[in-house]
Structure 1
């Protein structure tokens, strides 16, 4: 992953608000060497790799690049920007079916199916959306991350935008940074959720389980999710609800973490399920019930506001009868467009 660049640099690379690791150095660590502290705090990475990152300027102490042997004073803030591993340069085109909702000379909008990983990483070096994009749009090989500017979890379905030119990539990243890209999700949750609400809770890496995120973490970053209830349902006498969630920030696992923190975990979520009712084990659904159904942004070329809308995939539609819900609970496109237009005006 490339180091974040300032708004004035060119090109601006991929926006991912979890692309750096933040460490706060305790006062009692005064006098310790930076490389030693990094090795202790980040055991998943080898000492040689960490040293290479320091030498490459990918580790900053209080905003400044320093040396591996730097002696810490205690109280510093350290940011580590993990760099690409050699395997990640081996991206190759693969003929993967893609549901292209829209394409022009600047952008591509994809309706991602559940089960498709967006970007190669450990355990998924092939068969990703990026590999499919490189096959269908070979020109993307000249762009960082093949034009991908945001991502969805593997088992979350729905709409994503991909840049086709460096100009479009810069525009989209800036819109994401300015939080003007509209992203709306459908989320089925356990519990008797209120008619509407807003979650304001930082999201950061769980200190006890590095594969998870947690809400309210002191080391986390500010995050906001707005939701409204579209319908109520029930499964084996356990209440549940269909929510529309609107992101004001884009943290990793944000919706899943925020809703579980309120006591409303997503149906089928294999990770954030501590607050699931007992009947959850009998529900015939094995992924988080989350779908990115609406995407709105300012077109990079003509600057018009454009919106795309896609109903959930078949697995979620087939789930509805089990939840005492009909297809009429799903949002109507004309209602959605009016709501988004009101958001832009406000």
Structure 2
């Protein structure tokens, strides 16, 4: 069993986009061209653009017109301009954030173990794992590509499983395709063991489990829910300690996953009529006076056999400072929730 302590490497910044002048595109832009057909003479320009550059949505083409990125002949063209037959249309397509989503970034990563095949990391709360809308850079994936350039040829840069942005704790990532394939197989076979610490409002006197299928929420596409026809999911919950606080009863729970569905612990806690502390998405109460402003969930223990040599590996991530401080402020003792005792 390995006890982990923080470790970080230098960080970096990302750059700006340059402007486009009349004759040439900036290095991060691409110029597309098309000639206005005779049949389209007199048509509104945005309609002609949509026909000639159908790979882009009409609304995006209109935005580029309004930004002065479209020319008809030598002149900047507007959305409502009339197309002139035989004129050359030029669009300076700017580099979009998603176009550089898989760029290496020298981010601080808390790497607690690494060898030629894999790495185990202790992810801080607030770090997004994979690029997506609203988070096209500064993700764990970007940091992995910088630290391990060989992962550029792997699906998701070697990421095997994810943690939510505001969940802290342990993750394993692969550095080779062989290791990634085997880790994914073992994750599906449930031989990678993951235990979490969760703090929930309410009183829990005995251990229980929730075995309920999880799928997309029928009305809110950003949330998951227990739904008929969802994917099978089971979570075991064991109470570690209970405190009486000025906000009400508070219970620390050890959560053991038997599957890996999106938001699984959070959804199963809500299904069990419990509120995870500061998880406003799934019913937790957010209060200005609460000394914790992110969901109280930490991936505290990770155990698996090495994918290439089957050597047993067992890691523990210390309780992060924000959760520890909150527990202490509520009158709790750290040894009550310390994953060393799990």
2:132 — aligned with what? 121
| Higher mean displacement: 197-206 or 86-95 | 86-95
Structure 1: gaps spanning 5 or more residues: 1-46, 50-84, 337-346
Instruction: Report the alpha carbon displacement of residue 264 of structure 1 after superposing the two structures with TM.
Output: 1.2
The residue number in structure 1 matching 2:307 is 300
Instruction: Kindly indicate whether the alpha-carbon contact (under 8 Å) linking 2:301 and 2:339 is maintained by their aligned counterparts in 1.
Output: no
Residues 92 and 134 in structure 1, CA contact (< 8 A), matched pair in contact too? yes
| 1:88–1:260 CA distance, 2 compared to 1 (3 A) | farther
- 1:48 deviation in Å? 8.4
Partners in 2 of 1:254 and 1:146 — Cα distance? 24
Q: Following the alignment from structure 1 to structure 2, what is the Cα–Cα distance between the partners of residues 293 and 88?
A: 34
Q: 2:323 aligns with which of 303, 316, 320?
A: 316
Other-structure match for 1:272: 282
Compute the displacement of 1:281 (Å): 5.6
CA distance in 2, matches of 1:272, 1:100: 30
Q: Quick one: distance in 2 between partners of 1:240 and 1:320?
A: 9
Alignment of 1:137 with 2:148, yes or no, is yes
Quote the offset at 1:90 in angstroms. Answer: 3.9
Question: For 1:213, which of 211, 216, 224 is the aligned residue?
Answer: 224
Q: 1:212–1:271: 8 Å Cα contact kept in structure 2?
A: yes
- Give me the whole-angstrom Cα distance separating, in 1, the residues matched to 2:339 and 2:282: 29
Match of 1:203 among 214, 227, 240: 214
What is the 5 A alignment of 1:89-168?
Answer: 90-168=101-179
Secondary structure in structure 2 of the residue aligned to 1:91: coil
- What is the Cα deviation at residue 263 of structure 1? 1.4
Give TM-score, length-normalised by structure 1: 0.69
Counterpart Cα distance in 2 of 1:124 and 1:88: 12
What corresponds to 1:236 in structure 2?
A: 246
Could you say which residue in structure 2 is the equivalent of 1:285?
A: 292
Contact between 1:184 and 1:293, CA under 8 Å: does it hold in 2?
A: yes
Name which one, 1 or 2, has greater alpha-carbon Rg: 2
CA contact (8 A) 2:302 2:316 kept: yes
Which residue number in structure 1 is paired with residue 204 of structure 2?
193
**Partner Cα separation in structure 1 for residue 283 and residue 55 of structure 2:** 37
Segments of 5+ residues of structure 2 without an aligned counterpart are 1-53, 57-95
Of 302, 315, 332, 1:325 maps to 332
RMSD: 2.1
Secondary structure of the residue aligned to 1:321 is helix
Cα deviation digits, residues 43-68 of structure 1 (max 9, x gap):
xxxx989xxxxxxxxxxxxxxxxxxx
Report runs of 4+ in structure 1 exceeding 4 Å deviation: none
CA distance in 2, matches of 1:164, 1:219: 35
Work out the CA distance in 2 between the residues paired with 1:200 and 1:288. Answer: 22
Q: CA offsets per residue over residues 76-130 of structure 1, 9 Å max, x none? A: xxxxxxxxx9936641111110000100011100000000000000110000000
Contact 2:215 2:230 in 1 (8 A): yes
Given that 1:193 and 1:264 are in contact with CA atoms closer than 8 Å, whether structure 2 keeps it comes out as: no
